[in-house]
Structure 1
């Protein structure tokens, strides 16, 4: 995908890494601020959708901990979140598009 500005990949990187501090807010703000860049819009939209779905999966897993099935689910979804976020970060740095596996083609 064509990157129109040299800073675009850093905005895309920030959208993916925002899962650490502001999981839903930061990608939404980046999506609004950098709406003129297709590259940033793609990455911020993917990050926003992933953060919402991943947060819901972690919340449901936490609720299921009382019947013990939630503990392995938390571990699996936690590792999945780390792995897919790292893949998305490297794709953004290499100016490539990336789709999170659990988001499908919704965005």
Structure 2
């Protein structure tokens, strides 16, 4: 038996029923991991988490929290990748893009694991564009 604190219920103003604890964790994980397929296009890693967050944020405070975190982090990483592409001109970007990619992937997986465990996780390297 797991010793995990329950995710508090959330009252929805959209008329949809709130998500169960299990569904909240599942949608939070999907929100984080949905950025991976979109990463092949720089802005694509922001679009999928943004769409999932917008659809599910009214049904769970847990998904709302993780959705904002995922969107903020992916915007931050997209900006870092854009800077790396500009720095390709002086060859520094070639090395930096690999570091940005590794950091992005590692922190995305950590966030998904934390969400799966029912924990609230804040990315350590993220600008808070959405509060």
- Do 1:13 and 1:89's aligned partners in 2 also have CA atoms closer than 8 Å? yes
Higher-Rg member (1/2): 2
Cα distance in 1 for partners of 2:35, 2:88 equals 23
Corresponding residue for 2:117? 94
Unaligned runs of 5+ in 2: 1-5, 10-19, 39-44
Unaligned residue ranges in structure 1 (runs of 5+):
none
For 2:56, the equivalent position in structure 1 comes to 34
Per the alignment, residue 66 of structure 2 pairs with: 43
How well do the aligned residues superpose, as a CA RMSD in angstroms? 1.7
Q: Which moved more, 1:24-33 or 1:60-69?
A: 24-33
Normalising by structure 1, we get a TM-score of 0.89
Query: Structure 2: how far apart are the matches of 1:101 and 1:71?
Result: 24
Aligned length: 107
